Structure 1
């Protein structure tokens, strides 16, 4: 432990120096399809223009971190895309100020007695930013586009609750089999495979946003530039300088435009915690995250927002590669990690160490929290870690382990956690681990293709149910990225989705999480939270635990 604390002291010294020298050439840390960076909004705006009546515009300066992966709702399945999309577009339902699914494009809906058929009634006054009416066919087009196997949408699995969706996406069915119907221009009917109590919440995810089908048919690249982008949310995309800045303006065609108080939102793309903090201090940003080395100094300030943010930082083992094809060796690495020290000394900002996979905050049918009910599934136990390592090496006939390479996507915080892990594996297992960082696009592709031996990940909830994280590891899931396949696990997840007895459904989910811990195909590190500095006068930003924020009610005085 003494060795580890000395490393931390050296690391923090380097980070303080970096705070004085950081520039805009900072590395890119994406919040990938499952992983957000907990850094939040901020931006670079030189001056605020006046409105037509001569009053000063309300311009909020925010930071998106990096370029969105895509503003196509079916493709941009990550936090750096979700945050812009959730303010440029709107689905049938929208998370309200209590983070519950409420009316969005749909002003009401009917649910059949068997819980399978949902009939949505669209608002008469809901329009696209180009003035076109939003119609039911826009949802049919968007959802079938998401599910089309040629689209290769990373979000397609979310649509599997709809009858015929999985068959179409897997190539075993057709688009006609997907049971969504535009009954008329303002009525949409959706039939599910099985009753799904969280379906309305699921529909708040940007993957289920509509697409103006006429615009998309005329120009498949409608979402790539500000000039062609068409949305239906509180704001519209005025300009987009790729990798530099996006500017939103209030959408006068939005059905609830009177609620929107901001005139403009500027999103910078600054992916360095110290740089964005310096911008906040100089007034260039209205919000910023707290750099870890300044957490003790700033965390208790009056201008700090602290809230829940459902998700997990974890590391995946590639079980198709040596030595992590061996379960005991995987467990050795997992039990050698002191998560409490990483949370308190490395990440800081009040985050909690993760001893399970499903984050706190999911209330069971009996009123208990999922995390409390299933307890600690992996802990820090160096002696047990050593025993697992010895057992695994004996099973494989190893005198020494093959080379271990731990890969993370480039960012200062990811580097700090990776270096802490490297030290712990050396101290508690006697294993030398090589670190490698990759820029996001390279990293994401390599992880998906099982080219990385041991790699960083994190997951931000797509919807409010514990099955959301657990379903990531079913066979052939886009989100799996470990090589893991188990018919038993797949069956547990299927039951965890379709079982109508809620208490029994949760029992299947508890069992599935315990199986993940037993197989240890991934090791949890810490849960996410939201810690944001806000400038004076900023109010009304909704930061939903599910993984995206909402500026519909935001204000700046």
Structure 2
């Protein structure tokens, strides 16, 4: 017996909506008589003693825990397992949370209307009105690729969804609903999904689009050899990564997917850029001609199936898109042209907006602040679920080479205790209330489908710090940090700074966009006598260094791909391309 679309989609959509709308849920209040940091001591500053000790010796323990989370169907047991995974990661001291970043700042011209911000995706301009000439000019964060399998930045998701359409979409009401799919059937055990596509779908070049394009795209996306940093998004499908159990019917109208486990967020994934169809014929022809598997995204070659198609494209400079007449809902597109400026930020960033060169810009904390646009045109939109944190490379020989694993962990935890997260959050995003000391940011669902967020205290689990839930104080705890450092042999002057006799030097790696924020982190460490140096990189260099372990401390940011803690927790398995800390390596 199969559950048909109307029943199944209603259930799953309700579950997803509860997750999507859980941004900003109230924190669980601290019970009377409880104290922050209850259970913690100088030797166990997080109050979770030994959570990571065994795993640091054999990281397969953590890998197996993630596999257990993936397969567990009891929601309450799954929540406890996910807390255990976060405890392990936090006890290593290798991940140092700073603040959550759920809202993004934008400026847009007052007449503009009709665009919206789907959760986890960002601004969608397909229905925008109020432009003078039918052309919208947007200023976006730099990006160098249009290939959905090489997604670089969370803000790039919205760009790709102007070029591609998937099986489902999130509409202007934050509702998850079918897009290219006409009908969806789900087996009684939730493991077999059958998508029937709408008839007469086309690519922008007029070629037929069918279920085979999804089979090709998903198998390509799961293939780790092409360098897709998000290949693990396909791990819920049976046969991942080499033999995904997905099939197209003979007539190309039906796509059948077999999952290895029940996945409550699978429908949400089908609305993301990683799960859009791809034109196999065009990709393979371009590769055969050039030898480059990504040459198909070049101007004059790229084929799309979304509201827009590419007119011209220069990486990290400009993307010019025009209406795609073969889009299956072309009559709903209100813009004739969408121009995205994506060059590096310079001092004229805001002035160009004021002068009318841009209609819509994302505020990134950069540029000439003396030329800020009118305040009434500034908007803060909470569409993302993001975390900003420091990542320590546990295999860095310069910092940890002469230490035992326990000593290295103690040093990292001491450094994490020194940070004033409230001051950092205020400096970076203008709100100390967003300071955070958990890896999983507030607003992330617990995955149960009941609308509760993961970062909360319950009868089954309590964070070491109760209110707000966390692992470290939000203000610097110099006393405990000093005790830990002294246990490692570091000495301090009467002024509370590290003695020159026992120096400590930190090297930070960060993206260029962090130039206005990372100095705040450096300043805090230097105030305690720790010497620091910084290196700012473009995205390609930054990712290469992280993946190869060629750094000491990295300023990291993660935007959730789907609203479930597993999305962040599975980043740290031994074989994950996002395991920048080097666990299990």
Give the aligned partner of residue 556 of structure 2.
457
- 1:67 paired residue number: 143
Report whether the alignment pairs 1:234 with 2:316.
no
Q: Which residue pairs with 1:410 in the alignment?
A: 512
442-451 vs 70-79, which moves further: 70-79
When residues 61 and 95 of structure 1 are mapped into structure 2, their CA distance, relative to the original with a 3 A threshold, is: same
- The runs of 5 or more residues in structure 1 that have no matched partner are 1-34, 44-54, 169-176, 487-557
Residue equivalent to 2:470? 376
Displacement of 1:453 in angstroms is: 0.4
Determine the structure 1 residue equivalent to 2:440. 358
Is 2:198 the partner of 1:123? yes
Unmatched tracts of structure 2, length 5 or more: 1-100, 110-130, 288-293, 458-462, 464-468, 492-499
Shift of 1:84: 2.1
Give 3-state SS (helix, strand or coil) of 2:410's partner. Answer: helix
Pairing of 1:27-426 with structure 2 (within 5 A): 57-68=133-144, 70-79=145-154, 81-166=156-241, 168=242, 177-184=243-250, 185-220=252-287, 221-272=294-345, 274-290=347-363, 292=365, 301=376, 303-322=378-397, 323-324=399-400, 326-348=408-430, 352-364=434-446, 365=448, 367-373=451-457, 374=463, 375-379=469-473, 380=475, 381-393=477-489, 400-401=502-503, 403-411=505-513, 414-426=514-526
> What CA distance in whole angstroms lies between the structure 2 residues aligned with 1:302 and 1:442?
35
**Matched residues in 1 for 2:560 and 2:509: separation?**
23
The CA RMSD over aligned residues, in Å, is: 3.0
Normalised by the size of structure 1, how large is the TM-score?
0.71
Any conservation in 1 of the 2:350–2:371 contact (CA below 8 Å)? no
Which 10-residue stretch deviates more, 77-86 or 444-453? 77-86
Preserved CA contact (<8 Å) 1:41 1:267: no
1:405/1:222 CA distance change after superposition, 3 Å: closer
Measured after TM superposition, the shift of residue 100 of structure 1 is: 3.9
How far apart, in 2, do the equivalents of 1:144 and 1:273 lie? Answer: 40
Aligned length: 426
- Checking the alignment, whether the CA contact within 8 Å between 2:424 and 2:435 is kept in structure 1 is yes
Question: How far has the Cα of 1:189 moved from its partner?
Answer: 0.2
Task: Describe the superposition over 1:470-509 as per-residue Cα deviations: whole angstroms up to 9, x where unpaired.
Answer: 11111221011111239xxxxxxxxxxxxxxxxxxxxxxx
Aligned-partner Cα distance in 2 for 1:122–1:56: 37
CA distance 1:100–1:294, shift in 2 (3 Å): farther
Distance in 2, Cα, partners of 1:393 & 1:38: 43
What residue is the counterpart of 2:543 in the other structure?
Answer: 444
Determine helix, strand or coil for the equivalent of 2:383. Answer: strand
CA distance in 2, matches of 1:392, 1:193: 47
Contact kept in structure 2, 1:360 and 1:370, CA below 8 Å: yes
Relative distance call for 1:393 and 1:194 in structure 2 (3 A) is: farther
* C-alpha contact (below 8 Å) 1:295/1:348 kept by paired residues: no
Question: Partner of 1:473 in structure 2?
Answer: 572
After superposition, residues 482-521 of structure 1 pair within 5 angstroms as 482-485=581-584
- Aligned residue for 2:352, secondary structure, equals helix
Question: Following TM superposition, by how much is the alpha carbon of 1:452 offset from its aligned partner in structure 2, in angstroms?
Answer: 0.3
Return the offset for 1:259. 1.3
**CA separation of 1:368/1:441 partners in 2, compared to 1, >3 Å: closer, same or farther?**
same
Alpha carbons 2:106, 2:363 under 8 Å: kept = no
